[in-house]
Amino acid sequence: MELLKTWLGHPKELYKLTKFKMGGYKAVMPKVDEESLSASLRTCYKHLNQTGRSVAAVVRALDGELRDAMCIFYLVLRAVDTVEDDMTINLETKIPMLQNFHSYLYQPDWKFMESKEQHRQVLEDFPTISLEFQNLAKVYQDVIVDMCRNVGLGMAEFLEKKEDSKKNWNTYCQYVARPIGIGLSRLFSASELEEPIAGRDMEFAISVAFFLQKTNMIRDYLEDQVEGREFWSSEVWSKYVNKLSDLAKPENIDKAVQCMNELITNTLHHVPDVLIFLSQLKNQSVFNFCAILQVMAIATLAACYNNKQVFRGTVKIRKGQAVTLMMDATNIDAVKAIMYQYVEEINQKIPSTDPSSCRIQQIITSIKSMSVPSSAPLYRIHY
């Protein structure tokens, strides 16, 4: 499970789009002044680029102290996630590591050299990350260590109670997505770029994290199967097959698509809360950071809906779509228009014979009623 996908809802190639031209319009994401940074902080941004290329652009565009705090928050979560993802670490070692991971932030020499995961450098060079963590203002440290503790404990509990936890993926999201939604809101508030209420009213922030987490678990079905990870809700897939892996069998493709459509229906129920959350943000850089993730997620769901390719290979939104979404998602009316556009795309693909067709039509109607922009016309087509 890549925990960081909770708040990295956009495709991996987004990192290429930090500078682009389209139709004569040029947009450049702000870059960190590398020369002004300490050597250790430069290393942290290097790790960010290497392990979270798609999020690096939106992190670097944040204002003030929040930028460095978010970089460290990401790297700490990436390190926890790498431990959880590494299937070569036995549970007797992994569970205590996850439970105690927050304490390593205060152990200058702690590192882990035995990981076989792709992004193991964040564990091997954890002393650099923990050093920069301790250079942050205490208000940021408190949020990061608290969220690291909650995520680590949640992962460990999930591993210990794996089968029970997988019955309903809301339970799983409570373990790993909820702390990230809360942590992001608390960081926004701590930076004073957003009102203090942003760090207290968590209901909508948690829904935002659930929306991103579920979207990426849907999209990454095949990748997770190959790696031996299973995150789809057994409450849903058990209606269609005996084992989750059976959905990848060609003879089960129709059942697989129906199962996925039901999960997408469940995920779309979080969109109204997403729109409310975004409408409450005041700072432009924070809004852009959050909005880009949300519009990439809704575009991903539209690409996956009723699409057999999810069970055969990789489903991505195209680079042109990603560019347009990044350019447009700068205000709430634009985001509403984008949401409207993509749920209507889903609506046009709903099979009349699909078991969840009535339910998804109902939630789409609800989303569209909230998504009609107050004054501006619908924005450019994002196809």
The residues assigned a catalytic role are: 172, 219, 229, 289
Query: Tokens in use for 160?
Result: 């210990």
Tokens 């990436």 sit on residue: 78
Instruction: Give the CA count within 13 Å in the CB-facing half-sphere of 15.
Output: 11
Please write down the long-range contacts of 26-30, taking CB distance under 8 Å and 24 or more positions apart.
Answer: 27/326, 27/327, 29/57, 29/58, 29/60, 29/61, 30/60, 30/61
Q: Which residues of 329-346 are buried (b: 16+ CB within 10 A; e: fewer)?
A: bebbbbbbbbbbbbbebb
Q: CA torsion sign, 255 to 256 to 262 to 265?
A: negative
SS3 26: strand
d(CA 121, CA 59): 20
Alpha-carbon span 126 to 241, nearest angstrom: 42
Backbone angles phi, psi at 25, to 5 degrees: -95, 130
* Furthest C-alpha separation in the chain: 60
DSSP-derived secondary structure for 225-239: HHHT---S-HHHHTT
Asked if residue 240 lies in contact with residue 259, where contact means CB atoms within 8 angstroms, the answer is yes
Q: Are 4 and 78 in contact (CB under 8 A)?
A: yes
Please name the residue that has the structure tokens 């930028």.
Answer: 67
- At how many degrees (to 10) do helices 253-268 and 203-219 cross? 160
